[in-house]
Amino acid sequence: MIHETAEKDIVNIAAKTLTGDIRDFLLDRLKNFQKPWVSMGEAEQRESINQTKEAAEHLVKKACRIISSEGRKVIEATVEQVIVKDGIKATMKCTNTFDALHELGGATGQIVLIVTSGAQDFVGEQAPALPIPDQADLLDSAQALKEDNVTPLK
């Protein structure tokens, strides 16, 4: 029973943080748009799409980190080498920061958890985001008008 309560608390904390991160991400995108989408040219829209994609990938990685850490201290590292001999020995490399050094130094001789974040599994898309072309295709526009039963002026 105690374990269930602790597990629910961890999920709620992660959910609260994640909701705030998503909110801040969306607000940041809105604040940085210099003009409405329909007023942007194709190149400006394409740049906005690229910037938003990069920001979204960052957000997904951060979300995976929050969820997988379950409130624990996290140090991001790259596995450089794995040796299998009387167990498994892994060599990892992380950025040289005070926090990383402090956490790793404090964990010497202790059991640690290694969690693969797997953010790559979540960076897909349903369909690509495309800008509105500066010059529309006249045949496509005519077909759309025909399908909408628009009658020509006489």
Q: 2-6, 54-58, 71-75, 114-118: which range is least confident on average?
A: 2-6
For residue 27, pLDDT beyond 70 = yes
- The string of pLDDT tens digits covering residues 114-151 is 877 666 666 677 777 778 888 777 777 677 667 776 66
Tokens of 127: 């369909």
> What is the pLDDT at residue 1?
43
> What is the pLDDT at residue 37?
85
> What is the pLDDT at residue 83?
95
Which residue from 7, 20, 26, 114 is spatially nearest to 63, judged by alpha carbons? 20
- To the nearest whole number, what is the mean pLDDT of the chain? 78
Q: 17-31, 44-58, 70-84, 89-103: which range is least confident on average?
A: 17-31
> What's the helix, strand, coil split of the chain in %, to 5?
55, 10, 35
For residue 96, pLDDT beyond 70 = yes
Strands 77-84 and 88-94: antiparallel
